[in-house]
Structure 1
């Protein structure tokens, strides 16, 4: 399983509020190490990796998670609680 976290950077260079919250939750629970890669959707750069992948998956909110399992279509999670319940908890990671 491969997990990608996409976070949004605002025009002033700061992380969006929800992105900060999710980052803090991941750190507090020791789950940040489970994230394979983090991409930044920088509103100042329409070609940033995060914006490009958001377009690819037709996601308009940040933060979001992309969960890729071998032989399956990628799953997109835009709600941290659902991601934690469906991805982290079944894997015995909560």
Structure 2
């Protein structure tokens, strides 16, 4: 399984507040280390990696998580708590 965390940088160069909050929750719960990749969706650059992923997966909210498993359609989560319940919690021993 590959997990990508996509967070947004606003036009003014600041991180979005929700993205900052979710990243802090990930850090506090030692979940940030479970992310395989952190990608920035930069509103100042429509071709940034995160903006490309958002378009490809038709996501209009940030932050979001992209969960990819071999042979399966990628799953997108825009709600942190649902992502934790369905993806991260089953990974915990």
Gaps of 5+ in 2: none
| Aligned residue runs from structure 1 range 1-94, under 5 A | 1-92=1-92
Query: What TM-score results when the alignment is normalised by the length of structure 2?
Result: 0.96
What SS is found at the alignment partner of 1:11? Answer: coil
In 1, the alpha carbon distance for the partners of 2:18 and 2:49 equals 19
> C-alpha root-mean-square deviation of aligned residues, in Å?
0.9
- Tell me the SS of whatever aligns to 1:60: coil
* Divergent runs of 4+, >3 A: none
State the aligned residue count: 93
Which TM-score applies when normalising by structure 1?
A: 0.95
Q: Distance between the aligned counterparts of 1:23 and 1:48, measured in 2? A: 19
Unaligned runs of 5+ in 1: none
CA-to-partner distance for each residue in 1:20-39, whole Å, 9 max, x for gaps?
A: 00000000011111000011
Whole-Å separation in 1 of the counterparts to 2:92 and 2:20? 24
Distance 1:32 1:87 in 2: 13
